[in-house]
Amino acid sequence: MIAVITIAVLAVTSVLLFGFGLNLLYLTLRATRLKPPPPRGLLTTGELRVCVQLPIYNERYVAERVLDAACDIDWPRDRFEVQVLDDSDDETVEILSRRVAHWRRRGVDVSHVRRGSRAGFKAGALAYGLGHTSAELIAIFDADFVPPTDFLRQTAGSFQDPSIGFVQARWGHLDEGYSWFTRLQALFIDFHFLVEQAVRSASGYFVNFTGSAGVWRRVAIVDSGGWTANTLTEDLDLSYRAQLRGWRAAYLEDLVVPEELPVSIDAYRSQQSRWATGSFQCAFRLLGPVWRSRNRLATKIQATIHLLAYGVGPLMLVQLVCYPTLLLTVGRHNIPWQLGDALLLGLGVAISPWLGFIVAQTRRGRPWWTGVPSLFCQVIGAGMSLNVIVALLAAFRTGGTFVRTPKHHIVQRGQEWRDQAYVRVGDPRALLEAALGLGALSILPVAIAMDQTLLAIYSGLFALGFLLVASLSLVDLMEVLALRRLGRRALTLMRAIAPALTLMAIAAALLLVAAQMPEPFEDGYSHWLIAANLAATGTLHDPLFGMEDTWLPGYQVLAAAVLKLFGLWQLGLLKGLSAVLGVAIAACVYALAPNVRQARLAVALLVLNPVFLFTSGSAVAEPLLTALLMAAAVAATRGRMKVAALLAAFACLTSTKAWIWVAAAAAYAAIEAVRSRSPGGFRARAVTWAIPALAAVFFLQLGFAPAGHSMARGTVEAMSASVRGSLPTSGLSRLAELATTYGLATLPLIAFAVLGAVLAVRRHATALWRFVYVPALVYLAAVFGLVAAGTYSGSHRYLYPALPAIALLAAAALDRYAGAVRLASVASAAMLAVAFVPVFSAFAAQDAGLAAAGRASSCAPGMLVTDSPVAAYFSGKPLPEITGSQALPYGRGQALEWMHLHGVGSLVVEDISYYRATTVFPDLARGTAAPPFTSLGAQARYQVNGGKAVYAYGLDGACLVQQLYPGVDASIWPAPSEGKTAPLAKGVALRVGSIPVTGEGIGLGVPIVHYPDGWVYARTFSDVDLSTTGATVWKRTFHLDEIGGDAAHRYQFVPIPSRGDIAVTYTIDGRVVSISVAPVWIAPGYSEVGILNEQSAAFNDLAADQQSTLTGAAFGSWVPVTGRWARVRSSSLGVEWSVSALPGAALYGGREQAPPDFNWAGLDYIFPGSFGGTDYQVTVQEAR
């Protein structure tokens, strides 16, 4: 039912979004075909009497400006009056009084109208003013507008047509260039006026009076019912009522009246809330009259879309919520393809406003690319969707409080408003927006991993939108508090560091999102295993390969400290640690850049590079290594040579790759010192900083030879990969492959870095060359040389340390070009990062077979032998129970004896030539199980396209146990044998902390059949392991060959000839045990069939839908369940499990505790009459 409802909601919302987007495309296309308005002459004779109304409430900063502009309008003074409708209760009253007196002295008929209350808000003020004037035309301007002097001359001529009820001018923008936020608002408003309003007016559709910069015919106002405060958008309400009465609107696109845009996000949020609430209120009030009117169908459709336009964001948010629900209920592979295509099509059309924004800018006379940033308008719109939902709820009430949008007389960049009155910051809605943003962000990596494109787009859009809006609120709050409490110097300092902090925050968010993806590198699991062993035992040891003689201890020690603090299995924290180190690298790059612009460019290009982005989200040593090297470079370029020496030494303790880097830097410094013919003391100081690092290198290599071991192991790996066909055999081919893939992954960095290197040579920035550029170039040359020689396999990851230098060089080159080129480069880097998401997801997907084999091995008790750290991690076995096949003796017999001696229960074998298991058990490496080995499920589940050939085996047994969640398992064997039911066949038993908790209960999913001579049970059974990729599947066929347990049989069970076979399939997937019961054959004559689900009497708490909770003695042996679900709980075990009611079956809860015979509690189904089978689920979770 949930799935059906979810699909229905998604289908309906997709249709609505598709319709809205299609209409925007239609309006956009029509806008491209609109001809420029013909020249319009100014009205010079026959002027009607005009009243200019200025509704004002607490506008001390702009009230004088709008009054001056209104009084300066060119119109005969004997037919012109100005009403200042002042509801203010602050010093605005005095300001207006002085200015009104000034204009009266100048001969203008201006009145200062004071009502004494705000009844009806703006609508009430306009209606009150209308009652105090006899003017035929009413011009209206909000306080933040500045009408031109010829406004009435340009508009009044339209009223020569007696059907015109009102005239609307286009809004301009006084402060468009104040910030990027005001620029985005300007794009919004331009789209409304230059696309929507223009096309609707030209096509004869309903248009709206926008509340300001327009003129009304008095008769039209009165005829339409006048101004009312029933909605918060009295302008939209009246304009629609007027058009329903037959009045027409005139839209003058070429008449522009500039207004002041909100400069703070909280003010904008408040404005949008009022507009959205009023729009929904008007929709509720007017859609009925619209559709009952005699207007043509197209007009009605356009009016409907217009009035409900604010519903787009909430519709998309509803889809974001529904899509994960759909995945959970029907699964990723069972979503109807028609629904998926419809959702993608709806999304594609729903983003059509972007095209409309571009067209609006071209119609404004600007280049088309000035509308490209409007893509961020979609982001802001998504971030405002919560605000719109709150507005929708508020719209169910008539009227509401008219919250004025504060204005501060901002007309140019740099003006300060944060210390003025009317400033509203700290909107509590921002907290909820931030929470929703984090929630949406958490969905993103899951969606990418599950290949759910639509969900990834939605979650990314809403995460960015919510977090952006919430962040802007936080920034405004902090800046206001800094200015008001700490002074202007504190604000200046905050503004100086804010861009860098913002950039680092964005970098951190991107890297943390990347860290949520599945680990792409098998080495990440190896590092986890070594670090976990170090944390658990205090000994640096690799239980699989003994890699402690190859991988240096720096990263392992840091990772072990994290695991020691937070838990040995927290691989995700190690990935998060790498992301933090990635941010540290970005900060170092920012510090190394010669100017701020290059710093921002370098960081953006670096973080968006896919190799950097996804390696920084992996549990590998490269982020720590590069962070230490870059931090050393920062210290060195600032003359802090002791700090640089210490950091370089730590880097050399982290990876042998650092040895190349430090040696190159020291050699270049020495050569440079010799060439400069400096005194001996200076030459010594030039290389002294490298002595600690070089000493560490000498000590490590002399004592442990990690470089030699690394090259030896790398050579073996490369040869094996070449034999398998996953790596080219010739050095030149390997070099070409690495250069091609790395070059593609580092576009556009490489392209501009070459030019940047030329520029750097000319400028000869000595410090950067010595500590960054030359070491990076030497390092790259060394890596490519080792790959060509067959010593390195050629992973992208090896090139990670050189990326900061390449980013700095690319930024230096881009700094010479225009801003559009720099922006395009960053945008292309972002698109490249998105394009590489499937590539790095594929890396992780290639390990899916190893992960499945590891999970399968978890159900076999005893030690695991594997050469895969992936399998080791996903086995969940205690670390002492994991070892590599190198521990096996040569020779099959000796290896089997060793395995039995050490209690080995499972073996995961990869077909890798140099692995010991492949040598000892070649048949197992080919997928052929021979006694004493048995396959753990179907071996096909472990084979993945592009992955290694891997097989999972049990030793002297099959998969018997599967984890439901940490600490709780489902077990098919051994069967519990306690109390009265000891001789009977059992179903799935629960284990808590490896201890069975079934008691005398018969288990989950056990069939029994009722005949006239009693209930028939199963004593014997047969099993088949049907496990598939991602799920453990057991099939147990119960043979109905036991009767009794009742008074007629003296409460004993007696063997009988079989009366049937019933097959029960158990599928363990997460915390759910899915049970499918299918009768093979059942002897006739039975009256009912029971499906028992029982564990021990420790589950002494029964709760059911619409029934009272029963605990302890109140929980009887046979309690009917009448609702939709029931659950039993054990507080002592901390576990509960539940089932749902099934059609055609009665559900009962029961419990008996009378040791030694009775110790059970359960939820049992009884099917009366003929039984054809059933399916249901048992959900197991922590007790709540």
Give the CATH number of the domain where residue 1054 resides: 2.70.98
Cβ atoms 235, 249 nearer than 8 A: no
Decide if 343 contacts 454 (C-beta within 8 A). Answer: yes
Pair (917, 975) in one structural domain: no
Question: In one letter, which amino acid is 1155?
Answer: P
**Rounded to whole angstroms, how far apart are CA atoms 209 and 215?**
9
Q: What is the 3-state secondary structure (H, E, C) of 457-508?
A: HHHHHHHHHHHHHHHHHHHHHHHHHHHHHHCHHHHHHHHHHHHHHHHHHHHH
The angle formed by the CA atoms of residues 207, 209 and 214, to the nearest 5 degrees, is 125
Query: What is residue 330's three-state secondary structure?
Result: helix
Angle between helices 571-592 and 553-566 (to 10 degrees): 130
Q: Is residue 323 part of a domain?
A: no
DSSP 8-state code for residue 261: P
CA 910 from chain centre, in angstroms, equals 35
Domain identity same for 1047 and 1094: yes
The C-alpha atoms of residue 542 and residue 532 are separated, in whole angstroms, by: 10
Strand ordering across the sheet containing 1014-1017: 1053-1055, 1042-1044, 1014-1017, 1003-1011, 1088-1095, 1158-1168, 1146-1154, 1119-1121
| SS3 assignment for 628-686 | HHHHHHHHHHCCCHHHHHHHHHHHHCCCCHHHHHHHHHHHHHHHHHHHCCCCHHHHHHH
Q: Judging by DSSP bridges, how do beta strands 968-971 and 961-965 pair with one another?
A: antiparallel
Nearest to 908 by CA among 844, 862, 954, 947: 954
Q: What is the mean pLDDT of each run of 10 residues along the chain (1184 residues)?
A: 76 85 92 87 88 96 97 96 96 96 96 93 96 97 97 95 97 94 96 96 96 97 96 96 97 96 94 96 96 96 95 85 70 55 59 88 92 88 93 93 91 89 91 91 75 75 91 92 88 86 91 89 93 94 87 93 94 95 97 94 95 94 96 93 93 92 89 67 65 83 75 73 74 82 80 81 74 93 88 81 94 88 87 85 87 83 92 91 94 90 92 91 90 80 86 77 85 78 91 87 95 93 75 89 85 90 93 95 95 95 94 92 95 94 95 88 95 95 89
Q: From CA 308, how far away is CA 16, in angstroms rounded?
A: 11
Q: Flag whether 583 is in a domain.
A: yes
Strand order in the sheet with 950-955: 882-883, 863-866, 904-910, 950-955, 933-935
250 by Cβ neighbours in 10 Å (0-12 / 13-18 / 19+) ranks as buried
User: Helices 706-724 and 691-704: crossing angle, nearest 10°?
Assistant: 70
Neighbours of 815 (CB within 10 A): 18
Write the CB contacts of 940 (distance below 8 Å, at least 6 apart in sequence): none
Closest residue by Cα to residue 154 from 73, 232, 230: 73
Contact (CB, 8 A) for 1064 and 1171:
no
Residue 371 lies in a domain: no
Please name which of 429, 433, 430, 457 lies closest in space to residue 443, comparing C-alpha atoms: 457
Helix runs in 902-947, H state only: 916-920, 922-925
Judgement on whether residues 804 and 883 belong to the same structural domain of the protein? no
Q: CB–CB of 241/225 below 8 Å?
A: yes
Distance, in Å, from the CA atom of 331 to the CA atom of 621, rounded to the nearest integer, reads 36
Are 1029 and 911 in the same domain?
no
* Cα–Cα distance measured from residue 999 to residue 829, given in angstroms and rounded to the nearest whole number: 61
Which pair of tokens denotes residue 193? 């006026």
Q: What's the token pair of residue 1083?
A: 């002897």
Q: Which residues pair with 1160 in a beta bridge?
A: 1152
What is the reported pLDDT for 146?
97
Here the tokens at position 710 are 């690394």
**Half-sphere exposure (Cβ direction) of 438: Cα atoms closer than 13 Å:** 7
Residues near 691 by beta carbon (within 8 Å), at least 6 away in sequence: 645
In a domain, 437, yes or no: no
In a domain, 574, yes or no: yes
pLDDT of residue 547: 81
How far from chain centre, in Å, is Cα 799? 28
pTM of the full predicted structure? 0.72
Domain match, 1041 and 1168 both = yes
Does a cis peptide bond (omega within 30 degrees of 0) precede residue 1156?
A: yes
Residue with tokens 């071209």: 362
Q: Do 1077 and 1154 lie in a common domain? A: yes
Q: Within this chain, do residues 694 and 798 fall inside the same structural domain, yes or no?
A: yes
User: Which candidate, 934, 1090, 916, places its Cα nearest to that of 545?
Assistant: 916
Whether residue 505 is contained in a domain is answered as no
- The domain boundary residue, chosen from 920, 953, 986: 953
Contact 558, 530 (CB under 8 A): no
Query: What is the spatial distance between Cα 471 and Cα 481, in angstroms, rounded to a whole number?
Result: 15
Whether residue 989 is found in the same domain as residue 1114? yes
Tell me if 893 is assigned to some domain: yes
Tell me, yes or no, whether 1151 and 1172 share the same domain: yes
CA distance 762 to 758: 6
Using CA of residue 523, residue 529, residue 533, residue 535, what is the dihedral sign? Answer: positive
Measured between alpha carbons, how far apart are the two ends of the chain, in Å?
25
* Domain limit, last residue, from 953, 983, 1008: 953
Burial (CB < 10 A; 0-12, 13-18, 19+), residue 1087, is: exposed
Same domain, 972 and 946: no
d(CA 918, CA 228): 85
- Calpha distance 609→606 (Å, rounded): 5
Token pair listed for 489: 């110097």
Q: pLDDT value at position 1?
A: 62
Q: Residue 462: count other Cβ atoms within 10 Å of its Cβ.
A: 29
Residue 621 CA to residue 554 CA, distance in Å, equals 8
pLDDT at 645: 92
Does any domain span residue 526? yes
- Nearest residue to 759 via CA among 901, 897, 895, 594: 594
Last residue of a domain, one of 936, 953, 970: 953
Q: Is the dihedral of CA 497, 498, 503, 504 positive or negative?
A: positive
CB 1009 within 8 A of CB 1015: yes
* CA neighbor of 151 nearest in space, from 173, 170, 134, 132: 170
Look up residue 569 and give its DSSP letter: T
The whole-angstrom separation of Cα 997 and Cα 1135 is 10
Nearest residue to 877 via CA among 888, 868, 889: 868
Nearest in space to 189 (alpha carbons), one of 216, 215, 210: 210
* Tally of structural domains, the chain: 3
Nearest Cα neighbor of 772 from 783, 760, 787 is 760
8 A C-beta contact, residue 938 and residue 1028: yes
Q: In this structure, are residues 1126 and 1029 in contact, taking their beta carbons and an 8 Å threshold?
A: no
* DSSP assignments along 807-857, one per residue: HHHHHHHHTTS-HHHHHHHHHHHHHHHHHTHHHHHHHHHTTHHHHHHHHHH
- Longest pairwise C-alpha distance within the chain: 117
Q: Which helix (H) or strand (E) holds 253?
A: strand 248-259
- Given this model, what pLDDT does residue 792 score? 78
Asked if 665 and 809 sit in the same domain, the reply is yes
* Closest to 120 measured CA to CA, from 26, 228, 12: 228
Tell me the CA distances in angstroms from 46 to 51, 160, 828, one per residue in order: 16, 10, 60
Could you tell me the residue range of the domain that residue 564 belongs to?
517-531+552-843
Residue (of 552, 487, 479, 537) closest to 710 by Cα position = 552
Question: Does 1011 lie in the same domain as 898?
Answer: no
